[in-house]
Structure 1
Amino acid sequence: MKLVLGRDDLAAAALSAARAAGSEPERVAVKPVHKASRGFVNASDVDLCELAIVTVLQAVAHGKPVLLLPVTTLGRHQHQTLVTLGALSVADVEGHRVGVRAWSQTTGVWVRGFLTEQYGVDLRKARWRTYEGHHVDGAQDPSWVERAPAGTTLPADFLEGRVDFGIMGNELPSDARIRTAVAGAHEVAEQWSKDQGFIPVNHVVGVSETAAAEHADAVLAAYDAMRAVLTAQEQGGPVALHPVGFEGLRAAFTKAAGYALEQDVIPRAVDFDELVERSCAALGVSPTRLGG
Structure 2
Amino acid sequence: MKLVLGRDDLAAAAESAIRETGTEPERLAVSPVHKASRGFVNESNADLCEVAIVTVLQAVAHGRPVLLLPLTTLGRHQHQTLVTLGKLSAQDVAGHSVGVRSWSQTTGVWMRGFLTEQYGVDLRKADWTTYEGSHVDGAEDPSWVRRAPTGAKLQADFLEGRLDFGIMGNELPADDRIRTAVRHARETAEQWSREQGFIPVNHVVGVSEAAAANHSAAVLAAYDAMRSVLDTKAEPGQVPLHPVGFGALRGAFTKAAAYALEQGVIPSPVDYDELVERSSAALGVPPARLGG
TM-score normalized with structure 2 length:
0.99
Partner residue, 1:69: 69
Over 4 Å off, 4+ runs? none
Q: Residue 135 of structure 2 aligns to a residue in which SS? A: coil
C-alpha distance in 2 between matches for 1:92 and 1:268: 29
Contact 1:194/1:238 (8 A) holds in 2: no
Q: Partners of 1:139 and 1:237 in 2: how far apart?
A: 39
Distance of 1:274 and 1:132 partners within structure 2: 30
Q: Determine the structure 2 residue equivalent to 1:174.
A: 174
What is the DSSP-based 3-state SS (H/G/I as helix, E as strand, rest coil) of the residue aligned with 2:102? Answer: coil
Q: Distance in 1 between matches of 2:150 and 2:237?
A: 43
Deviations 1:159-192 (A, max 9, x none): 0111110000000000000000001001100000
CA deviation string 1:252-285 (max 9, x = no partner): 0000000000000001000100100110110000
Alpha-carbon RMSD = 0.5
Letter in 1 for 2:17: A
Letter in 2 for 1:253: F
1:83 to partner: Cα distance: 0.3
Secondary structure of 1:155 counterpart: helix
Percent of pairs with identical residues: 79
3-state DSSP class of the match of 2:45?
A: coil
Partner of 2:264: 264
CA shift at 1:237, angstroms?
A: 4.1
CA contact (8 A) 1:3 1:28 kept: yes
Structure 2: distance between partners of 1:136 and 1:269? 16
Partner secondary structure for residue 87 of structure 1: coil
Quote the residue 1:113 is aligned against: 113
Whether contact under 8 Å (1:75, 1:201) holds in the other structure is: yes
* Unaligned 5+ runs, structure 1: none
Which amino acid letter does the alignment assign opposite residue 194 of structure 1? Answer: R
Tell me, what secondary structure is at the counterpart of 1:149?
coil
Look up the match of 2:28.
28
Aligned residues: 292
Q: Secondary structure at the match of 2:132?
A: coil
Q: Does 1:91 find its partner at 2:91? A: yes
Q: Which AA in structure 2 matches 1:223? A: Y
Provide the secondary structure at the position in 2 that maps to 1:204: strand
CA distance in 2, matches of 1:58, 1:169: 20
State the shift of 1:216 in Å: 0.3
Partner of 2:190: 190
The TM-score normalised by the length of structure 1 is 0.99
Q: Which residue of 1 aligns with 2:216?
A: 216
2:285 match: 285
SS in 2 for 1:101: strand
Distance in 1 (CA, whole Å) between partners of 2:98 and 2:237 is 33
- Cα offset, 1:238, TM superposition: 2.8
- Asked if residue 81 in structure 1 is aligned to residue 81 in structure 2, the reply is yes
1:203 equivalent in alignment to 2:206: no
